[in-house]
Amino acid sequence: MMIHTQIAKAIAKTLDYILSEEEVYNLLETPKQSHLGDVAFPCFTLAKIGKKSPAIIANEIKENLKSEWIHSIEVAGAYVNIFVSQDLSGNHILNQVLTEKSQFGSKPSTGEKVLIDYSSPNIAKPFSMGHLRSTVIGHSLSHLSEKNGYDVVRINHIGDWGTQFGKLIVAYQLWGEKSLIEKEPIKELLKLYVHFHEEAKKDDALNNQARAAFKALENGDEECLTLWKWFREESLKEFETIYQLLGITFDAYTGEAFYNDKMAQVVSELQDKHLLTLSQGAYVVELEDMPPCLITKKDGATLYATRDVTAALYRHQTYQPKKTFYVVGHEQSLHFQQVFQVLKKMGYEWATSLEHVAFGMMLKDGSKMSTRKGKIVLLADVLAEAIETAKRNMNDKNASLLDKELVAKQVGVGAIIFNDLKNLRTHDLEFSLEQMMSFEGDTGPYVQYTFARISTILEKGQYQPKEDTFCSLGEQAWPIIMLLDQFPSLVEKSFDQADPSQVARYSLLLARSFNKYYAHTKILVEDNHKQTKLAFSYAVSLVLKECLRLLGIAAPSQNVINEMS
């Protein structure tokens, strides 16, 4: 925050560096109401140091504080309230945004890697709305990591191994029909899976059969393996269409099965380090403050946790990430705590760099969606419907739009992504098609619309981007200047807290502020402020576009500004 940095510099100097610039910076606040000032400095810390009343200190600071960045100063109790010199800082920030463009707020490269484990749907099951959360949060985090100077490794830890494949193989052998599966693979496989659970409730022998089938799969049984490969390929094809629509790519699809030939070594390492305990035929690692972590079952079969411990070791060797984010629902919190503690017990200090980025569940009618009970909403269906709605809206409102298909896709998909990201990720989310489809209010389409609106203004005003000294922007623009100034620290905070919702909410605030400004200001009127107003609008559009990009959402403009930026 450029403004805060300048104010902190001036205050620290006035104080003869009793507090460093950084200490002052960290104390600075934003007054609750804007008519009280732009920046507030509370004097409690200084009062303690100097054993004086904070009000006296505040007045002393007021007397001595001088800076070209400060317009005026008022004291309110223990606070020094500062009004910033709007023209100087407005000009400065505007020039900074216009020079740096999409690089505004970007940090220099750290040369270090952040690994993100996200999306990770399960083979032979449809891509659910639940997996959407991991996908869009992870995708946005990957952009935030890059913006903060990290190289990113995007990993899709596909659920392609585990006892459910035993169930599926048995179900297919008993009731499956090849031709049906070839036509609609995931739908038919899901049917088989649901049917298996209904039948297994009546006949427990089926569960034993499924366990045996999975064991055979683990031992490389030809028939089981062929079926498994087929299920996997068909499922991946279907996931790929969704990723394409969302504009998402991965660096690796190393799913659970990838670790099959790597687990034995990890199990023996655990053995060598005397961490394994025999418990009713199974091997577990005893842990502090939580239930033990199951490593192998009675029959020697490995588990989800075994694969995650192995994956963490493999990734550490292969990529040496500075940090790893696991973007997975909070119902798996215990699982990750267990995996992390096992790694710590193995003596790996880097286990502290692993972080479970948990998120709330997608609920339907107040309860969890479950594949087993068939109570599930398919992302593919929701996406298709959102795009259709976007298209209908356009036909009504903007029949002359050029690339209608493309824009409908960008708006429909944007609506869904934004709806997910604007909420604090730890909260549960009630699935509501209606809310997602709402193209007004706190939505992605509203931000997209504001961006396109500015693009049109710039086109009409024939704006040519250039750095310049600008005229005064006026009162109406000031809250927006302050918002632009906050963008770099927002980028940093959203990454530190692994929280894209801050970017989403910021973009809403910026869009709303701009629309308010536009309602009061005639931008296109031919006066000598026109270029400044256009430059200002362009700066806002650059930051809006960058917010959308960070969220993984397209910014359609249908005009020349795209080529200019």
Task: Give the residues lining the site for ligand ARG (CB under 6 A).
Answer: 117, 120, 122, 157, 159, 308, 326, 328
Q: Name, in order, each residue with C-beta under 8 angstroms of 396's C-beta and a sequence gap of 6 or more.
A: none
User: Residue 159 or 556: which CB sits closer to ligand ARG?
Assistant: 159
Least distance to ligand ARG, CB of residue 143, Å: 20
Least distance to ligand ARG, CB of residue 308, Å: 5
Least distance to ligand ARG, CB of residue 157, Å: 4
Alpha-carbon radius of gyration of the chain? 28
Q: Which bin fits 247, alpha (ψ -120 to 50), beta or left (φ > 0)?
A: left
DSSP secondary structure of 310-325: HHHHHHHHHH--SEEE
User: Residue 9 or 330: which CB sits closer to ligand ARG?
Assistant: 330
Question: Is 68 within 8 Å of 88 (Cβ atoms)?
Answer: yes
User: Residue 239 or 326: which CB sits closer to ligand ARG?
Assistant: 326
User: Residue 120 or 135: which CB sits closer to ligand ARG?
Assistant: 120
Least distance to ligand ARG, CB of residue 336, Å: 8
Sign of CA dihedral 327, 363, 379, 181: positive
User: Residue 41 or 326: which CB sits closer to ligand ARG?
Assistant: 326
Length of the chain in terms of residues written: 565
Least distance to ligand ARG, CB of residue 314, Å: 11
- Cα–Cα dist 21/230, whole Å: 62
User: Residue 4 or 125: which CB sits closer to ligand ARG?
Assistant: 125
3-state class of 560 per DSSP? coil
User: Residue 122 or 410: which CB sits closer to ligand ARG?
Assistant: 122
Least distance to ligand ARG, CB of residue 176, Å: 23
- Cα–Cα dist 359/347, whole Å: 29
Least distance to ligand ARG, CB of residue 471, Å: 54
Question: Is 164 within 8 Å of 123 (Cβ atoms)?
Answer: no
- Cα–Cα dist 374/157, whole Å: 24
Query: Amino acid letter at 408?
Result: A
Locate 428 and state its tokens: 């549960």
Question: Is 359 within 8 Å of 330 (Cβ atoms)?
Answer: yes
Least distance to ligand ARG, CB of residue 292, Å: 18
Least distance to ligand ARG, CB of residue 125, Å: 8
- Helix, strand and coil content of the chain, in percent to the nearest 5, comes to 60, 10, 30
Least distance to ligand ARG, CB of residue 6, Å: 45
Nearest CA to 122 out of 74, 160, 87, 91 is that of 160
Chain position whose Cβ is nearest to ligand ARG: 159
User: Residue 308 or 485: which CB sits closer to ligand ARG?
Assistant: 308
Alpha helices in 377-500 (DSSP H): 379-397, 404-421, 433-437, 444-460, 478-496
User: Residue 328 or 416: which CB sits closer to ligand ARG?
Assistant: 328
3-state class of 256 per DSSP? helix
Residue 199 CA: distances (Å) to CA of 170, 192, 203, 310: 12, 10, 6, 34
User: Residue 261 or 396: which CB sits closer to ligand ARG?
Assistant: 261
Alpha helices in 106-162 (DSSP H): 129-147
